């Protein structure tokens, strides 16, 4: 037996919702139970959809990756910084302290 991790991108035009999308995927009747999908993680982002939205264009993968990537510190690049700095730029505590000291 093999285990496959599959990432699906589902555009929810009818506002079904993340929970119901998960349920629909998991509750399908596959012949002979040949596969048993389990939705282990689901993330949702709200977008204002239009025909010229980046997700509806060639190269959408880059935009998708940016939408769901963790925030990074604007100075050192550390992922998931704890603080939100000026103008929506994320900063980790270490860089924030350095910047604060340099301003004194």
Residue 49 and residue 1 share a domain: yes
Residue 74 and residue 30 share a domain: no
- Mean pLDDT (whole number) for 29-58: 84
Q: Give the pLDDT band (50/70/90) at residue 91.
A: confident
pLDDT recorded at residue 30: 82
Residue 51 and residue 20 share a domain: yes
Say yes or no to pLDDT of 86 above 70: no
Q: What is the mean pLDDT of the chain?
A: 81
* Domain enclosing residue 99, as ranges: 70-104
List all residues 6 or more positions away from 59 whose beta carbon is below 8 Å from its beta carbon: none
- For residues 8, 13, 16, 19, the Cα torsion angle rounded to the nearest 10 degrees is 30
- Mean pLDDT (whole number) for 45-58: 83
Say yes or no to pLDDT of 29 above 70: yes
Element (H, E) at 66: helix 60-68
pLDDT recorded at residue 75: 85
Residue 80 and residue 65 share a domain: no
């Amino acid at each position: 037996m093999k285990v496959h991790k599959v990432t699906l991108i589902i555009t929810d035009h009818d506002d079904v919702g993340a929970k119901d999308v998960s349920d629909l995927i998991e509750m399908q009747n596959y012949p002979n139970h040949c596969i048993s999908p389990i939705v282990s993680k689901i993330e949702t982002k709200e977008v204002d959809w239009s025909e010229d939205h980046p997700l509806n264009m060639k190269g959408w993968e880059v935009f998708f990756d940016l939408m769901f990537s963790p925030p990074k510190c604007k100075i050192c690049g550390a992922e998931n910084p704890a603080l939100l700095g000026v103008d929506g730029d994320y900063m980790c505590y270490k860089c924030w302290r350095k910047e604060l000291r340099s301003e004194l």
